Each structure stands twice: as C-alpha cells, then as structure tokens.
C-alpha cells in the first residue's frame, strides 16, 4: 500500500509540475493577431504612399478567409510590386 501511495504522490507531482510549466508558457505568450498597420508600415518603409486602395488592401489582408485575396488585388492594382505585395499582405495576416 505504501508503494502505491508513493507512486501516485510522485506521479501527481510530475503532472502538477508539467501543468505549471505548460500553463506558464501559455500564460506568458503574447497573442498573435492580424494588424493592417504592419502592412501599411512595411509599404511606407519601401517608399509607397498610403492611398485609400492600399489602406483598404492592408485591412482586407488582416481578415480571415477568401477576402484576404483583396489585399493582393488592391495592392497590385495600386502599383505595389508583386514581392512587396506578398510580404505586406502576409504581415497584415500575421
């Protein structure tokens, strides 16, 4: 009987410690969320002015689903290069 109590005592301490470690990591991790301002800042840093189409494109890039494609379309149609468009839309969705 003593061995069983000892086993469960050690096992429960291990589970508790694992829960603390995992919980601590989860509790301190920042939340990732899409932000159009990262997209806009990226474009501005590359010399693009912020037009209404570019602002709207970055906003669409931050949304879920198929509407993210509007980010690519609006940025490309407003004269942003393909490589800058891909990065900017990815930043909006990050």
Span 44-55, pLDDT tens digits: 999 999 999 999
Helix 52-61 to helix 82-93 angle (10° resolution) is 50
- Answer whether residue 70 shows pLDDT above 80: yes
Residues of the chain with pLDDT > 90, as a percent, come to 61
This prediction's pTM: 0.64
| Model pLDDT, residue 2 | 58
**CA pair distance 1, 4, nearest whole angstrom:** 5
Between 32 and 26, the higher pLDDT residue: 32
Tell me the per-residue pLDDT of 4-14, one tens digit each, with 9 for 90 and over: 555 444 444 44
């Amino acid at each position: 009987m003593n061995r069983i109590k000892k086993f469960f005592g050690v096992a429960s301490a291990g589970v508790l410690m694992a829960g603390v470690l995992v919980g601590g990591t989860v509790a301190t991790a920042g939340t990732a969320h899409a932000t159009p301002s990262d997209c806009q800042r990226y474009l501005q840093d590359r010399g693009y002015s912020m037009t209404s189409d570019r602002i709207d494109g970055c906003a669409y890039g931050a949304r879920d689903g198929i509407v993210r494609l509007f980010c690519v379309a609006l940025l490309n149609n407003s004269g942003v290069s393909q490589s800058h468009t891909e990065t900017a839309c990815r930043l909006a969705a990050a």
